[in-house]
Amino acid sequence: MEIARCLPESVAKQLLSYGIAWERVCELHLRAGSCPSVGYACGGKIKTLPLAYLSFTPEELRDILGRLCAGSVHVYDEGLLRGYFSPLTLPGVRIGCAGRLLCAGGVPQRLQQLTSLCIRLPHAVMPSAEVRGRLLAMIRGDDADMDGAVSITDKRPLSSTLFYAPPGEGKTTLLRCLIRALCAVGEAAEPMNCAVLDTSEELCGTEIADCTVDRFSGYPRGLAMALAVRAFAPKVLVCDEIGTDEEAEEILRAQACGIPLIATAHADTLRTLLRRPCFARLHENGVFVRYVRIFRKTDGQFGFDAGMPA
C-alpha cells in the first residue's frame, strides 16, 4: 500500500507482529507523548489496538507529515488550521492533525506543535446486489420494496435521504458505494450527473474514474451546494456529514430547485439527530423523505433501520 512508504518501518513491523495486514487497517493514530494505536477491520467492526512498542516525538510526527504531503506541507496550511485535510498524492486518505494551536482573537493562526496524527484510509467495499437493491429502494422512498428484492436497473426518481450513525459505522463507505451505484458507467442503469460535495476529500478517490461525477473538494459545503445547483445542473447531490445552519440554508435552496440530496450525519438515534437545530429545521421543512440508521453486521455488510419520525 502506498501509505506504507510514508510511514516509519517500525509501524509496518508492529502491525506485522500483530498479524494485521495493511488491507485491514482503517486508521492509524500516531501520537507524541501518548500511546499510538491502530483501528482495523475485524468481524464487520473497527477494532482498536494499542501499538505499545512505538513512540514518537513531535519532530518525528512533523517528518511523517512532510512525507504524507510529498514535501509540500505549506500547501495544506489551511487544512492544518482546520484540523484535517486530504493530500493530493493520496486520494481518499484523510489526515487529522492536533497539537498546540496558536490563536489570535479566537482565530487559528498556526499549528505550533504537532502531537497527534490520525490517518484514515479509504476502503472500497461494494455491498451485495441485495444490499444495493435495498439502498436504491430507500433513496427512491419506496416502502413496498424495502425488504424485498429490488432491481438495481430501476429508473424511478430519487428522493432525498439522510443516513445517520455514530462514527466508525461506515457512512462514508456507504456513500462511495452509492455514488458508483448511481453514476458508474456499466454499473448504473443510466449513469446520472452527480455533484459530490467532498469537503473532507474522502468520498472521491481513484474509483470515480468511470463515474459521471462533478467533485467539489475543499469548498465550504454551503458554497459548493450553491455552485453545483446554479452551474452544473446535477440530478442528485451527495454530501458527507452535514450539520451546520449554513448547510441547512443551502439545502433548502437546493430542494426548492427539486434536486434530491443523499447525505450523512453523525447521530446514534433519530431523536438525538432531530434535537440539533440544523436537522430540526430541515425536518420541519420536509426535506428528507427518509431517515436511515446504518450499522455494520458481523459479515461486514450494511444493516439498515429505515423510517420517518412520528
What confidence score (pLDDT) does residue 145 get?
A: 43
Task: Quickly count: other Cβ atoms within 10 Å of residue 130's Cβ.
Answer: 13
pLDDT score of 295 more than 80: yes
Mean pLDDT computed over 253-273: 88
The DSSP secondary-structure symbol of 32 reads: B
Handedness of CA 185, 186, 192, 195 (dihedral sign): negative
Residue type, position 93, single letter: V
Least confident of 31-45, 64-78, 147-161, 198-212: 147-161
pTM of the model: 0.74
Q: What are the sequence ranges of the domains in the chain?
A: 2-120, 129-307
User: Domain 2-120 adopts which CATH fold?
Assistant: Beta-Lactamase (3.30.450)
Three-class SS state of 23: helix
Q: What is the DSSP letter of 118?
A: E
Query: Which residues, in sequence order, are bridge partners of residue 42?
Result: 45
Does the pLDDT value for residue 243 go beyond 90?
A: no
Residues 212-229 have a mean pLDDT of 84
Please compute, for residue 27, the number of CA atoms within 13 A of its CA located in the half-sphere on the CB side: 18
pLDDT at 265 over 90: yes
Task: Fill in the DSSP letter of residue 214.
Answer: E
Work out the pLDDT band at 99, boundaries 50, 70, 90: very high
Give the up-direction half-sphere exposure of residue 121: CA atoms within 13 A in the CB hemisphere.
19
Q: Are 230 and 190 in contact (CB under 8 A)?
A: no
129-307: CATH topology is Rossmann fold (3.40.50)
